[in-house]
Amino acid sequence: MPDRNEMINDLWYKNAIVYCLSVATFMDADGDGIGDFKGLMRRLDYLQGLGVTALWLMPFQPSPGRDDGYDITDYYNVDPRYGTLGDFVEFTHGCEQRGMRVLIDLVVNHTSDEHPWFCEARRNPDSKYRDWYVWSKKRPKHANEGIVFPGVQKSTWTRDSVAKCWYFHRFYDFQPDLNTSHPEVQAEILKIMGFWLQLGVSGFRMDAVPFVISAKGDKVTRPVEQYHMLRAFREFLSWRQGDAIVLAEANVMPNTDMEYFGATGERLQMMFNFQVNQNLFYGLATSDSRPLVKALKATKPRPATAQWGHFLRNHDELDLGRLTDEQRQAVFDAFAPELNMQLYERGIRRRLAPMMQGDRRRLELAYSLLMALPGTPVIRYGDEIGMGDNLVLPERQSARTPMQWSAEDQGGFSSNRKTILPVISAGAYGYQHVNVAEQRRDPNSWMNWMERMIRMRKEAPEIGWGNYEVLPAGSPAILAIRYDWRDNSVVVVHNLTASPCEARLSVGLSGDEGRRLVNILSADHSVADESGKHSILLEAYGYRWYRAGNLRYLLKRSDA
Ligand code: NOJ
């Protein structure tokens, strides 16, 4: 039998570029001030042009919207403010025509407290839905533990006056947890997955996975994960649609990663790498790449079919909870020095561009690093044009403002003056200065740089598929990685400091491969000295992407 690694060619998520967006804030077609599927469809050519290969949509199902849609009242529908199921199918079809996959959020740890299941469960103790939630006659002793939103969430148990019982909610009190150990609830989760697969999605970004699979109840003092549930999700998914995936939101310690992927890759295909994300920001803040290298090593083991999702920012705060107190402080000092920029003194509620003070060199470094990490990059809408944040808005909404398309009113997002969240309209990040239309015209714009980087990343499948090795480069400020896949090697080198720095490195390959590095971005190639070492002078925040070998090998040599 050939090596299994050689046989798997068609795992689309291995070399994908994922772009996440919220329908509500992307593009408003009907002029009510709220984004919708019709608006999103008008922008599919833009997304295809940018080069992204998969879209991840935040929740768009009917919801009272108290947690931006992460509180669902009907899993089998589209919130009428965004359109209809018919529009959704038109949308997935439009994506398919353009070669883009669709992932949607799967929020099944909890429902909204207005979901008919919960309403029935509260009202009628004999209803079957009663057991779909987690109840206690008395206030459990540990009701103050395990709070996810400190500051705005007081407890994980709340007394319901109708049921005259306490119910469990890992997140806000309006998000009662589903009793996910219950066979009927599990069957319903599969049914929800099956429904959306049938409407054209390629998988799910699964919300709060460690909580979904944890045992829940008033007697549970230490939640224990029931990992076998993940296999059941995966099997169902694969039976219904072989290439469908789950991308898990699981901010867990590296020693449990394999439980999520499964020893032979039989559980979830993808997870976000929170460990690397936090240490990456630490590296950007301090110019010290060592903790990042440690995080990369700790998260290196994974089955051949599994993949990491890497990201810089997402719709939540930049969670720094896995760093030490000093490390976290260093990141705050660099990127969120004012209290108002922080959330719960634990994370940062800013967009990337203002965190980097709009410094193009630092933004390029951050994105070049993201694209050069072992896994699949996940880009947040608006970051491709360097959008800013609005710190006047509460909590995480600061970084969720509408997309800025042009210098027209409301940034071209909507014809309505009142929009779901205010469009950023003042200061350096206002839509008058930061918008797609303007950047499209300028070949040197940030957006066009992003487009080129995306293209380059797609042309370097070694990064998504290959094995890698961190190369010693003579300074903790330099991060150099070599990727190998099918007789091709790519070497990426990054300088995390604000001063020029020389990388001295040996690529670790013999012959021409080790001697010559062909720059993929510019004509500035590198040839090793007699001892086999390359000396690469990187400017402040500089980065290089090379292909090992001679000039003929500017593109990879074998077919993927
Ligand atoms: C994680 C989501 O990313 C976040 O936005 C949400 O508030 C919680 N899960 C609860 O669903």
Closest ligand 1 atom number to CA of residue 110: 11
Predicted confidence band at 4 (pLDDT cuts at 50, 70, 90)? Answer: low
β 376-380/534-538 pair status:
unpaired
| CA distances to 56, 197, 285, 342 from 235, in Å | 22, 14, 42, 40
Six token digits for residue 379? 């880009």
How many C-beta atoms lie closer than 10 Å to residue 257's C-beta? 20
Query: Where is average pLDDT lowest: 65-79, 287-301, 486-500, 544-558?
Result: 544-558
Predicted confidence band at 221 (pLDDT cuts at 50, 70, 90)? Answer: confident
Q: How far is the CA of 207 from the centre of ligand 1 (A)?
A: 7
CA–CA separation, 368 and 294 (whole Å): 19
Q: How far is the CA of 70 from the centre of ligand 1 (A)?
A: 6
pTM of the full predicted structure?
A: 0.97
Do the beta carbons of residue 122 and residue 191 sit within 8 Å?
A: no
Element housing 119 (H / E)? helix 116-123
Closest ligand 1 atom number to CA of residue 109: 11
Q: What per-residue confidence (pLDDT) applies to 8?
A: 62
Predicted confidence band at 550 (pLDDT cuts at 50, 70, 90)? Answer: low
Q: What per-residue confidence (pLDDT) applies to 549?
A: 84
- 395 CB under 6 A from ligand 1? no
Q: Which of 22, 56, 70, 274 to mutate to test the pocket of ligand 1 (most atoms within 8 A of CB)?
A: 70
**Region class of 164: left (phi > 0), else alpha (psi between -120 and 50), else beta:** left
- Of 401, 479, 459, 405, the C-alpha closest to 435 is 405
- 311 CB under 6 A from ligand 1? no
Q: What per-residue confidence (pLDDT) applies to 150?
A: 82
Q: Say how many Å lie between the first and final Cα of the chain, rounded.
A: 19
pLDDT at 123 over 60: yes
Q: How far is the CA of 59 from the centre of ligand 1 (A)?
A: 10
Query: Where is average pLDDT lowest: 135-149, 328-342, 459-473?
Result: 135-149
Q: How far is the CA of 89 from the centre of ligand 1 (A)?
A: 25
Going by the DSSP 8-state scheme, the letter that residue 299 receives in this structure is: T
Element housing 48 (H / E)? helix 44-50
Predicted confidence band at 492 (pLDDT cuts at 50, 70, 90)? Answer: very high
Q: What per-residue confidence (pLDDT) applies to 61?
A: 98
Average pLDDT over residues 97-121: 98
Q: What per-residue confidence (pLDDT) applies to 6?
A: 58
Q: What per-residue confidence (pLDDT) applies to 5?
A: 57
How many C-beta atoms lie closer than 10 Å to residue 148's C-beta? 15
How long, in residues, is the chain? Answer: 560
- 34 CB under 6 A from ligand 1? no
Closest ligand 1 atom number to CA of residue 171: 10
- Map tokens 């883009």 to a residue: 100
pLDDT over 70 percentage in the chain? 97
Catalytic residue from among 71, 105, 207, 462: 207
Closest-CA residue, ligand 1 atom 6, reads 70
CA–CA separation, 450 and 455 (whole Å): 9
CA–CA separation, 506 and 532 (whole Å): 6
Q: Which of 72, 153, 171, 319 to mutate to test the pocket of ligand 1 (most atoms within 8 A of CB)?
A: 171
How many C-beta atoms lie closer than 10 Å to residue 283's C-beta? 26
Angle in degrees, CA 373, 379, 383, rounded to 5: 120
Going by the DSSP 8-state scheme, the letter that residue 287 receives in this structure is: S
pLDDT at 327 over 60: yes
Phi/psi for 306 (5° steps) reads -90, 165
pLDDT at 79 over 70: yes
Do the beta carbons of residue 477 and residue 501 sit within 8 Å?
A: yes
45 is annotated as an active-site residue = no
Q: How far is the CA of 366 from the centre of ligand 1 (A)?
A: 25
Instruction: Express each pLDDT in 371-421 by its tens digit.
Output: 999 999 999 999 999 999 999 999 999 999 999 999 999 999 999 999 999
Closest-CA residue, ligand 1 atom 4, reads 316
Catalytic residue from among 218, 249, 257, 383: 249
Q: What per-residue confidence (pLDDT) applies to 339?
A: 96
pLDDT at 497 over 70: yes
Going 36 to 41 to 45 to 50, the CA torsion angle's sign is positive
Closest ligand 1 atom number to CA of residue 149: 7
Name the amino acid, one letter, at 481.
Answer: I
Do the beta carbons of residue 33 and residue 45 sit within 8 Å?
A: no
CA–CA separation, 242 and 235 (whole Å): 9
249 is annotated as an active-site residue = yes
